[in-house]
Amino acid sequence: MKPYREMSREELKAEEEKLRKEYRKYQAMELHLDMSRGKPCKEQLDLSMGMMDVLDSNADLCCEDGTDCRNYGVLSGIHEAKVLIGDMMENNPDNIIIYGNSSLNVMYDTVSRAYTHGIMGNTPWCRLDKIKFLCPVPGYDRHFGITEYFGIEMIPVPMSPTGPDMDMVENLVSEDPSIKGIWCVPKYANPTGYSYSDETVRRFARLKPAAPDFRIFWDNAYGIHHLYDDRQDYLIEILAECKRAGNPDMVYKFASTSKITFPGSGIAALATSPNNMEDILAQMKVQTIGHDKVNQLRHVRFFKDIHGMTEHMRKQADIIRPKFEAVEQILDENLTGLDIGTWTKPLGGYFISFDSLPGCAKSIVAHAKKAGVVMTGAGATWPYHKDPNDSNIRIAPTYPPMEDLIKAAQLFSLCVKLVSVEKLLG
């Protein structure tokens, strides 16, 4: 098939007619499918059911130092959980605070604390006229939701396969003291699946921010979420690199076991410098007497060590890799050569990012919905839900059963073609 742009009006009209017929067939099927949710599927969750067995009413719930995990205390988390999560995050256990069940919650708290009380003695952000964050786009909608909630102005920064546009980041951060942070998903990013290159990480660590309380919000949500054994992305460790570059306090690194065990019932953690830890713990001790140590212990007993976790992630990959490959194959078969869209082929994470012709994304998502397939709302990957090109759509292949996913991806491809033809016909 030749590119749509090279087709005559008559050819396009004939193609439109054919696509409409096909679309009506899908409508008649009365589908109810969902490709919007970046959630593990049932089979993935089943892999962690052993966590329910490691602690029963006969279990000894004391951790290695004798602390009874059933009781109050241990503000920053039990040591063995810090070792496990430290290995997962590639950080020293001494640099880790273990939290509750959600890293998004930790990120919210981190912004909130800076807003009300300031970072390490700096003026609280709420007392300043203007606060801004850099937001690599397309990005994670819930990050943008936090900064929007606090009235922080968000500045989009374009992403490329090597990470955010670092010339732009360096210039803005060094010139404008009202820029206090940047949202980063450095590995298998949501939604592109891109991982930052060595040069990008090195340039991040060497930023010279105008604001002394500028922080990199390094959300390593997909740090060990590889799809393949033989092809994996590796990242320079950011805390160590910041320390080497003389910027030890510039980064907060977040992670959780949400997409390793049970989302919403996992454990979340923050890795950062001793100065930042002191600052954070001074507030945390007011906020809580301690997080859920029983759950921390459960995770440690289940995985034993990082090797157990790595093995577990292999099993996860075996379940979701065929789903990513099925979607990629369907997009390839239906769209390659038509010049109406591009999509990413990630080696890990939870998403594929699709870019349509400008001005088509909303209509594609609406067409899919009318035929029974829910996609993430177009625009969700941009601050304020405003994609200026109206072209980016996030595809989440993990949750639906394979059969549904195939139908949904086929219908999606059809919608891309139909909307593109309509657009070209004007």
C-beta of 4 vs 262, nearer to ligand PLP: 262
In whole angstroms, what is the distance from residue 41 CA to residue 20 CA? 32
Kindly tell me which residue out of 81, 166, 268, 269 binds ligand PLP, with binding defined by CB under 6 A.
268
For position 263 contacting ligand PLP by CB under 6 A, the verdict is yes
Residue closer to ligand PLP by CB (options 263, 372) is: 263
Tokens encoding 41 = 């599927």
Is 110 a residue that touches ligand PLP (CB under 6 A)?
A: no
Rounded least distance, CB 9 to ligand PLP, Å = 43
Least gap, CB of 140 to ligand PLP (angstroms): 4
Q: Is 256 in the site for ligand PLP (CB under 6 A)?
A: yes
Piece of the chain touching ligand PLP by CB under 6 A; list 99-107, 281-289, 295-303, 369-377: 99-107
Q: Give the three-state DSSP class for 252.
A: strand
- Could you tell me if 253 and 270 are in contact, meaning their C-beta atoms sit under 8 angstroms apart? yes
Nearer to ligand PLP, 44 or 413 (CB): 44
Q: Is 258 in the site for ligand PLP (CB under 6 A)?
A: yes
Binding mask 211-250 for ligand PLP (x = CB under 6 A): --------x-x-----------------------------
CA distances from 328 to 219, 224, 413, 416 (A): 26, 22, 11, 14
Nearer to ligand PLP (CB atom), residue 214 or residue 222: 222
- Cα-based distances in Å from 292 to 6, 137, 260: 61, 34, 17
Interacting residues with ligand PLP between 118 and 147 (CB under 6 A): 140
What is residue 338's three-state secondary structure? coil
Assign residue 255 a region (left: φ > 0; alpha: ψ between -120 and 50; beta: otherwise). beta
Token pair in block for residue 53: 């067995």
| DSSP-derived secondary structure letter, 72 | S
Q: Which stretch binds ligand PLP (CB under 6 A): 9-17, 73-81, 97-105, 377-385?
A: 97-105
Q: How many residues line the site for ligand PLP (CB under 6 A)?
A: 13
Q: What SS3 state is found at 131?
A: coil
Residue 103 touches ligand PLP, criterion: CB under 6 A: yes
- CB-based contact 130:153 (threshold 8 Å): yes
Q: Which stretch binds ligand PLP (CB under 6 A): 26-34, 223-231, 256-264, 372-380?
A: 256-264
192 binds ligand PLP (CB under 6 A): no
DSSP 8-state assignment for residue 123: P
DSSP 341-390: EEE---SBSS-EEEEESTT-HHHHHHHHHHTTEE-PPTTTTSGGG--TTS
Per-residue three-class SS string for 21-70: HHHHHHHHCCCCEECCCCCCCHHHHHCCCCHHHHCCCCCCCECCCCCECC
Candidates 16, 75, 83, 102; binder of ligand PLP (CB under 6 A) is: 102
Q: Which stretch binds ligand PLP (CB under 6 A): 60-68, 77-85, 98-106, 304-312?
A: 98-106
Question: Within 13 Å, how many C-alpha atoms sit on residue 266's CB side?
Answer: 22
Q: Which is nearer to ligand PLP, 113 or 253 (CB)?
A: 253
Task: Determine, following the binding rule CB under 6 A, whether residue 104 of this chain makes contact with ligand PLP.
Answer: yes
For the bound state, the minimum distance from the C-beta of residue 295 to ligand PLP, rounded and expressed in Å, comes to: 13
- Contact between 322 and ligand PLP per CB under 6 A: no
Q: Which stretch binds ligand PLP (CB under 6 A): 4-12, 101-109, 162-170, 400-408?
A: 101-109
The rounded distance, in Å, linking the Cα atoms of 398 and 320 is: 6
Which residues of the shown chain bind ligand PLP in the complex (CB under 6 A)? Answer: 38, 102-104, 140, 185, 190, 219, 221, 256, 258, 263, 268
